[in-house]
Amino acid sequence: MAVQLNHTIVPARDDKESARFLADILGLADPVYSEPFQIVRLSNDVALDVMRVDGPITTGHYAFLVDDTEFDEILDRVRARGLTFWADPFHRHADRTNDWYGGRGAYFEDPSGHNLEIMTRASDVGR
């Protein structure tokens, strides 16, 4: 069997709010509760196990490869929520997208401050 990512834990101040945000903004199925996680399943069967954490959150970066239609739909949902998005991971170029790797990309934050990235083309660096 090839090595595949199965799941990762996403720490959150409010697990229900963060899981619902991820599912809604990305256009995914409703989260499923399996103690102690709110599980958001991606289309490639990777699970984001959202877990409530008391105290400071160490924020992470989560990148999602989407097609052009999904990109537009997600960015529309980001705009509809009044969220700021950026063309870069350092949040220097607000309300812009990038054209890296021959596609489009954008960054925005979830309720716990995680840096979420949507992109239509993945880098082939390291392949």
Q: C-alpha 12: how far from its chain's center?
A: 13
Structure tokens at 29: 């199925």
Residue ranges per structural domain of the chain: 7-119
Neighbours of 127 (CB within 10 A): 5
* pLDDT surpassing 90 at residue 35: yes
Round to whole Å and give the CA distance between 96 and 105: 9
**What integer pLDDT is reported at residue 74 of this predicted model?**
98
Structure tokens at 45: 């069967």
- Supply the mean pLDDT for the chain: 96
Per-residue pLDDT tens for 57-105? 999 999 999 999 999 999 999 999 999 999 999 999 999 999 999 999 9
Neighbours of 125 (CB within 10 A): 6
Round to whole Å and give the CA distance between 117 and 77: 14
- Single pTM value for the model: 0.94
Specify the CATH class of 7-119 in words. alpha beta
